[in-house]
Structure 1
Amino acid sequence: MLPLMRVGAKQLRGIISLIRGNSTAAYNFETVNVTIPKPFVYHVELNRPDRFNTFNNALWKDLENCMNELNTNADCRVIVLSGAGKHFSAGLDLQGAMAMAQELAEYEDIARKVRYVGKVIKLTQDSITSVETCVKPVITAIHSACVGLGIDLITAADIRYCSKDAWFQIKQIDIGMAADEGTLQRLPKIIGNMSLARELCYSARKFKSDEALNCGLISKLFDDKDSLIKGALELAEEISSKSPVAVQATKETLVYSLDHTNQEGLDYIRLQNQALLQSEDFINACMAQATKGEKPEFSKY
């Protein structure tokens, strides 16, 4: 390694870029499309429209890799997540599931079959959970069908908007399985109604956008997909204007506090704010508030 004093400014910026994540690198995924419609706002689209954005191995891998890359991208402050084509997501790709069944048939011993299936489920769980563990807020923009794994996905997100044509269905029980990618864990906490959560999970009945809004799964309803995407991007732009370290610390604390006591959550945020209260972001934001001046521009980190 070159001594630091011999590294030029251009080289040093390159090293810093590698450490922080190369924000200018192209995002080339088979099943996910990434664009940058506004500064610091990344739009991630599930991109299997011919299969109604159903999840197969490629989509699980692409989604997790995309979220992990954006997690360390200094130019990304907020993510809008939507689906290309007719539906947001129709859930599980049954053709892919049949392929897994064929691979499973190669194992004769029950213990090895169980081990194989457990490994596959863990990979799919990690893919969905990457939306929750990404420190950048994720706003989902849902149109038309949001079925099965689609609900697993949106319940891992921070904010859920939908169009009036959206409908939802926790479908897994209709194909002889229980939802195993997060709906059973996250949905009851989101809507705060265990009776309704169990009804929806046991019956697999469809529910429309107005019911999703009324029960708290969705926070805002739009007339159509175009206005939905526009509204999601406007919110993303507003959030992106805030201090990125403050926003990310807020998300981390909210996620941490979901399964910890109030006191543990208070201890966690105390540690976060020991740093944030000494940050240049805090000083600049306070000055702007006090003087009613223009919004401050925050550094990437």
Structure 2
Amino acid sequence: MLRIYSNHHALRSICRSMSSLPKYETLKLSQPKPHVTLVELNRPTKLNAMNKELFEELKTCFEQLSIDKTCRAVVLTGAGKAFTSGIDVKYLSTVAIGELSQIDDSARKALHLRRMIKRTQSCLRAVDQCEKPVIAAIHGHCLGAGVDLSACCDIRYSSRDTTFSIKEVDMGLAADVGTLQILPKSITNHSLFRELVFTARSFDTNEAQQIGLLSRVFDTREAVLDAAINLASVIAKKSPVAILGSKIQLNYARDHSSDDNFNFVSTWNSGMLLTEDIIKSIMASSVSSEKSNKNAPSEIEYEDV
């Protein structure tokens, strides 16, 4: 007999999970639906500009969500008027004036910068490497490091009023924490993408869809957030083993050859095909085909992983 979620079970799941959600200075976590975690960049008075603390907390947060059994899908958004205006200029000034000015030797300055860049990369890569699907709900502004952050998400939704900019060349540097490292593998219009990179000009959701950055666009911030949460809820009801395996395969395939991908999935599935989730899914499909939609079970209770 398949176990089906009851409203009481779902309510207990929400209350239990919300009571144990960690607290952060620059992030706000909540659980709008069972097994769905909403992560908000929470510096609204700064348009969620990304400072050192926010970068560090993103790493801590997503590494924790990756192993959190109560979380099966994540929605990432920004509090207030913007997704994020990019890296905090004050933070950059602190690095340039405060830290680097105290180092005289050029080689040692370079090594210090390299360590800082690698650390920042690891903070955003924690989103990319999170074992749970991450859906970006973008609105307002998504600039510079904000595009890098969105590149690390699995799915990107946006409100129609969003302004994007791959801002780095206007700051005298090449984007180094996601945009130029991840997006080229999935971009559909490389000519337009390179134009946006080389000019740093602002672009709207139409051009963002043209290059393949966005999958869907909605009229308002409320609509995009609702859609992202609903999508996350659908994903959260699927087999956690299947979703985890699918994300790992997709990320591996992005970075490897076809032969490597086939070898990797054969090894992965030699273990994962032993899951009881397959039996539950087959049984649910069989029951659904024998009953009317009204009487068929609406949701299987899969075990957490």
| TM-score (normalised: structure 2) | 0.89
**Alignment partner, residue 296 of structure 1:** 300
Match of 1:173 among 156, 162, 169: 169
- The equivalent residue for 1:76 is 71
1:154 partner letter:
S
Q: CA deviation at 1:110?
A: 0.6
Match for 1:109: what amino acid? Answer: D
The C-alpha deviation readout for 1:194-241, integer Å capped at 9, x for no partner, is: 222211111001110122123321001111001111000000000000
The answer (yes or no) to whether the contact 1:77–1:240 under 8 Å persists in 2 is yes
Flag the 1:23–1:51 CA change in 2: closer, same or farther, 3 A: closer
Work out the percentage of aligned pairs sharing the same amino acid: 41
1:51 and 2:46 equivalent? yes
Indicate the SS of the match to 2:82.
coil
Find the counterpart in structure 2 of residue 254 from structure 1.
Answer: 250
Which stretch shifts more, 54-63 or 194-203?
194-203
Moved more, 219-228 or 289-298: 289-298
Deviations 1:87-136 (A, max 9, x none): 11100101111011121000000111011111111111001111110010
* Equivalent residues of 1:53, 1:90 under 8 A apart: yes
Q: What is the CA deviation profile of residues 138-182 of structure 1, one whole-angstrom value per residue up to 9, with x for unaligned ones?
A: 000000110000000001110000000011100011011111101
Per-residue CA deviations over 1:247-276 (Å, capped at 9, x if unaligned) read 011000100111111121111112222222
Count how many residue pairs are aligned between Structure 1 and Structure 2.
Answer: 280
The partner residue of 2:144 within 148, 151, 160 is 148
Distance 1:71 1:23 in 2: 17
Matched AA of 2:82: H
Instruction: Work out which of the residue numbers 29, 38, 49 in structure 2 matches 1:34.
Output: 29
Cα separation, 2, equivalents of 1:155 and 1:190: 10
CA distance in structure 2 between the aligned counterparts of 1:108 and 1:276, rounded to whole angstroms: 54
Shift of 1:193: 2.6
CA distance in structure 2 between the aligned counterparts of 1:57 and 1:270, rounded to whole angstroms? 40
Residue 297 (structure 1) shift: 1.2
Higher mean C-alpha deviation, range 282-291 or range 135-144: 282-291
* Match for residue 80 of structure 2 among 66, 69, 85: 85
> Are 2:189 and 2:212, in contact at CA under 8 Å, matched by a contact in 1?
no
Alignment of 1:1-301 (within 5 A): 25-101=20-96, 102-292=98-288, 293-294=296-297, 295-301=299-305
CA contact (8 A) 1:276 1:282 kept: no
Moved more, 269-278 or 102-111: 269-278
Runs of 5+ consecutive residues of structure 1 not aligned to the other structure = 1-21
Alpha-carbon distance in structure 1 between the residues aligned to 2:210 and 2:140: 18
- AA aligned to 2:80 is G
Query: Normalised by the size of structure 1, how large is the TM-score?
Result: 0.90
User: Does the residue aligned with 2:60 lie in a helix, a strand or coil?
Assistant: helix
Offset of residue 28 of structure 1: 0.9
Q: CA RMSD in A?
A: 1.3
SS in 2 for 1:74: coil
Paired amino acid for 1:29: Y
Question: What letter corresponds to residue 182 of structure 1 in structure 2?
Answer: G
Structure number with higher relative contact order (C-alpha < 8 Å, ≥ 6 residues apart): 2
